[in-house]
Structure 1
């Protein structure tokens, strides 16, 4: 037997041994509680979603999934902590549109690389973005807003949570595709919704969890919603495509990721658990009422989703000329 064949045989045996060890590790996993890092404040909407899915995973996996809030620096602190955690399946992180798709385009340097440092597990859910207006606005549809904004440039006020926030970039995306100019009003420490209801600002681009009560109570007006078709929870609200705003598709999403290097078998076991968790009819209905969808995926599907989503937001950031460092 030649040395080359001997080496190949040895490498093959080592690979099989590693795969077998990984399978045994996944079969036994988990044997202790799992930390789910949430890079946003306790009590926020995304935090509530994380805790709901953690409860479902606890039932399925047979070990407690503990949500640990690590907010700060636009989600960078908690996401970085996850990137540097041991890749053993016992530390996971909730990824979002901002942390996984947008931040890489806003900052020249980040302490983590979203493609290199994470293993996507599964999407958790997606929330369509709405054009939400104060009822006193001088336009009643998205198409009327575009006409008004073209006739009165830089006068339509859009509330945001600051430059580079989801609210801001979703608005920039709309403005670019509609060919209009909006005047963005940043709110750094308070929710814009009080001022939006009072007519101090005219519109806001956001997912619907924080707005749905005001919309259904008549204190806010939903002019349009993203999606290829009308959402079943809002059948009377047209899509942006119906309003003539083509290729406008911002989504507020959440998903579960593990540190890079986590054994593939463990990632797949977690993904399978997420797919079972997504079958909870009460949670699914809650996401539908918010204009979204509770949705689990395979790791490969989630990785492809992030890649596509990030490319879209990269174009938005470049067109808007937004940089935060």
Structure 2
């Protein structure tokens, strides 16, 4: 084969144009990371909206407001909390998934929207695994089995026996189908061989109000009922977590009561629209972790019955995927479907 001769650009103007084009590409490549860094340094320049995908008064709402104030001080901009409840978190989740990916709209949600909802709904209006990115975990939320004090059982063993003797005659509430308290109730019925009627509500606070009013008999509480327990208005029988709560060290876990491996904990945290610049996610993660380390924030989360859960976005994602496997099993076993 005859070698091809080297091509020489003889037109000086064309050669100059090609050189300038090449130089422009190099400048653009070098400028991209600098632009991202500059964007992160400039951000934020206006208020940040935190959408809570559950009604006011629940664990997600309280955590958003607890973290929001010190986060606002750290970022130098207002953090405005907006409640958009419904569809087990899907409505608020979609609002954020469709928002501009600029760091000015965040989601505070239970982990269930990512780990549970895809198992409940045949079709969701968005894909939480693709349309949202984890920013920072806020708290590990425990669930507490509480009952009306008028009921005779004084401990968990007596309560299980009481339920078994009255199949279908008692009812329990939850913040909604597929919520962690609902799944805790189904795990409890599955492992104890009992049956009670599930009454779903639009949030944890309405369920608690009906429990206090005697409209339902028991409830797996995500922490908002603990003040009522301390006041003697409700009776706490057990904790649905692998470990006892430091608030109630004498109250056994359900695992200790014989329900092997019982774990209904979930991790609540912050998400952002997919495509949010990585430097902005990193800044948010750093500042939220600093807020969670504040003694008054840690203490308040503990008063709510949870535990502060600082960590990386990757660790938050991994926990959600593990929960998806665990909760997906009970959803399939019990035939749970969204309303």
* Normalised-by-shorter TM-score class: 0.7 to 0.9
Q: How far apart, CA to CA, are the structure 1 residues paired with 2:145 and 2:56?
A: 26
The answer (yes or no) to whether the contact 2:173–2:198 under 8 Å persists in 1 is yes
Change (3 A) 1:42 1:157: closer
Please tell me the root mean square deviation across aligned C-alpha atoms, in Å: 2.6
Matched, 1:67 2:117: no
Aligned to 1:278: 292
Aligned to 1:202: 217
The answer (yes or no) to whether the contact 1:142–1:223 under 8 Å persists in 2 is yes
1:42 Cα deviation (Å)?
Answer: 4.0
1:143 Cα deviation (Å)?
Answer: 2.6
Aligned to 2:96: 82
Q: TM-score, normalised by structure 2?
A: 0.84
The answer (yes or no) to whether the contact 1:137–1:199 under 8 Å persists in 2 is no
Q: How far apart, CA to CA, are the structure 2 residues paired with 1:74 and 1:230?
A: 27
1:275 Cα deviation (Å)?
Answer: 0.6
Matched, 1:307 2:309: no
1:46 Cα deviation (Å)?
Answer: 2.9
Q: Secondary structure at the match of 1:293?
A: strand
Q: TM-score, normalised by structure 1?
A: 0.87
Matched, 1:18 2:38: no
Q: How far apart, CA to CA, are the structure 2 residues paired with 1:74 and 1:276?
A: 29
Aligned to 2:206: 191
Q: Superposed, which structure 2 residues align to 1:177-256 within 5 Å?
A: 177-187=191-201, 191-197=206-212, 199-209=214-224, 211-256=225-270
Gaps (5+ residues) in structure 1? Answer: 1-9
Q: Deviations over 1:199-248 (max 9, x none)?
A: 55332112121x11221111211111133332111111111111111222
Matched, 1:158 2:160: no
1:134 Cα deviation (Å)?
Answer: 1.6
Q: How far apart, CA to CA, are the structure 2 residues paired with 1:12 and 1:228?
A: 55
Q: Deviations over 1:170-226 (max 9, x none)?
A: 2001112333333324456983445534655332112121x1122111121111113
Say which is worse superposed, 115-124 or 167-176, in terms of deviation.
167-176
Aligned to 2:21: none
1:111 Cα deviation (Å)?
Answer: 1.0
Q: How far apart, CA to CA, are the structure 2 residues paired with 1:206 and 1:117?
A: 30
Q: Secondary structure at the match of 1:232?
A: coil
Q: Whose radius of gyration is greater, 1 or 2?
A: 2
Q: How far apart, CA to CA, are the structure 2 residues paired with 1:274 and 1:107?
A: 31
Change (3 A) 1:43 1:167: closer
Number of aligned residues: 315
The answer (yes or no) to whether the contact 1:230–1:238 under 8 Å persists in 2 is yes
Matched, 1:110 2:119: no
Gaps (5+ residues) in structure 2? Answer: 1-23
Aligned to 1:316: 330
Aligned to 1:6: none
Q: Deviations over 1:95-139 (max 9, x none)?
A: 213322222111111111111111101001122101111223242
Q: Secondary structure at the match of 2:128?
A: coil
Aligned to 1:41: 55
Q: Deviations over 1:270-306 (max 9, x none)?
A: 1001111112211211111222112222111111111
